[in-house]
Amino acid sequence: MDMRLSKSFIKTKKNTPKDEVAENAKLLIRAGYIHKEMAGVYVYLPLGKRVLENIAQVVREEMNAVGGEELQMSVLQPKELWETTDRWDDEKVDNWFKTKLKNGTELGVGLTHEEPIVDALSDYINSYKDLPVYVYQIQSKFRNEVRAKSGLMRGREFLMKDLYSLSRDEEEHERFYEKITTAYHSIYARLGIGDITYTTVADGGIFSKYSREFQTLSEVGEDTIYVHEKNEIAVNKEVLNDEVLADLGIERSELTEETAVEVGNIFPLGSKYSDALGVFYTDENDEKHSIVMGSYGIGISRLMGLLAEHFADEKGLVWPVDVAPFKVHLVSLPGGENQADQLYAQLEDSDIETIYDDRDMSAGMKLADADLMGMPLRIVCSKRTATEGKVEASLRPTGNAELIDTGDLSAIQKLLES
Ligand code: ATP
Ligand code: MG
């Protein structure tokens, strides 16, 4: 898919809504990626939708690689299911959105899916031969967050990947837990934040001593973590005490305090949900056993906000190649229209996704828009380049321009890989 700006409704903007305080949302609104519906709720415009989809695709590939099977759960949830595990009451879970059927029956709007996943899988799990199961979805979640001032990083409606593992015993669970930790690091590395994202020891809830969060260093983060540089791990402030330090074999003096964004977490659940919902399996001898579960989240839309804010410079967005909605931003300037049209036709036939600014606008505005929108490679066709039979290519963010032969797609590909 390619895109001509002259045929699209997309426009960059000078102004952002007065109540928008988050830098990531301001930038994305100005660059024409998202529209603010209300606090914590955003519309993903064509460019934004492509970024979200690209991030989701990286996550999907890594989840498939560890044996995850993708499905899609329902957003509407029956109250009874959540009463079984005592997670319906607002005293217990305070960020539900709830609604009612015409006949008064109460429903919940999905904020996580442990209960419904176990319930749905209960039809398929009887014996040890049916396990382990690893299922995941990439779906909008709804949470009545008290504060939604961090743009895409804290939505009331947001996109999450949630995977659930159902294993036969602790050992099988542990193996998967380690495997998915590695997969998470591959995801963050592919998104360009591998070197600033730490596996972080966090509160384990009631099933295990600790859980693992994945925290990315960022000044705008809402979490405080303590980083152990040498061991490439961190400890969430919530659990920093002598016991944790002893468990990890580290000293308080080796830690540095940092602000970070939680971009994912993985949670041992024990058998709480499966036991409560009455789902067990039988072994070779027909003996009944509890299922050991884990849940594994990644904030897809939060990552989009984080990447936007993290890589941006004073001119605008700067996307990593794998995430960018288009790889090439082709700009035609006066006298370069024919050359640009020709190159666009070639790019359309290739798999180099291209956004083409063929609008009748000033060179200054078109170049500023290209900077703001943040595609990795800008190619400019002008009267001068047309005369020379070359085009001017420059990588975002350095902006250093070089001339390449018109139609040399392999040179373009090489620049994108550099
Ligand atoms: P937080 O402490 O930030 O509220 P959480 O512990 O509630 O996160 P989970 O319920 O485990 O998070 O959700 C899994 C992932 O979904 C989180 O690691 C985070 O990346 C993302 N996430 C959670 N809440 C939001 C939100 N309101 N907006 C965007 N992403 C979110
Ligand atoms: Mg939360």
What's the chain's average pLDDT?
97
217 contact partners, CB below 8 Å, separation of at least 6? 196, 197, 198, 227, 258, 259, 260
Long-range contact pairs involving 238-243 (C-beta distance under 8 Å, separation at least 24)? 238/202, 238/203, 239/201, 239/202, 239/203, 239/210
- 60 has pLDDT over 80: yes
Q: Is the distance from the beta carbon of residue 264 to the nearest atom of ligand 1 less than 6 Å?
A: yes
**Is the CB–ligand 1 distance for residue 155 below 6 Å?**
yes
**Could you tell me if the CB of 263 is within 6 A of ligand 1?**
yes
- Give, using CA atoms, the residue closest to atom 3 of ligand 1: 262
Helix (H, G, I), strand (E, B) or coil at 72: coil
Q: On the CB side of 35, how many CA atoms lie within 13 Å of its CA?
A: 7
pLDDT in tens, 215-264: 999 999 999 999 999 999 999 999 999 999 999 999 999 999 999 999 99
Torsion-angle region of residue 257: left (phi > 0), alpha (psi -120 to 50) or beta? Answer: beta
Which residue, 333, 382, 368, 373, is CA-closest to 355?
373
Cβ(301) – ligand 1 distance below 6 Å: yes
Fold match, 23-75+110-310 / 326-417:
no
User: How would residue 399 be classed by pLDDT, with cut points 50, 70 and 90?
Assistant: confident
Give 261-289 pLDDT, tens digit per residue: 999 999 999 999 999 999 999 999 999 99
Indicate the domain borders of the chain. Answer: 23-75+110-310, 326-417
Q: What is the 299 CA–ligand 1 centroid distance (Å)? A: 6
pLDDT one-digit tens code per residue, 77-91: 999 999 999 999 999
Say if residue 334 is preceded by a cis peptide, omega within 30 of 0: no
Nearest CA to ligand 1 atom 19: 299
CATH architecture of 326-417: 3-Layer(aba) Sandwich (3.40)
Query: What would the CATH number be for the domain defined by 23-75+110-310?
Result: 3.30.930.10
Alpha carbon of 214 to ligand 1 centroid (Å): 11
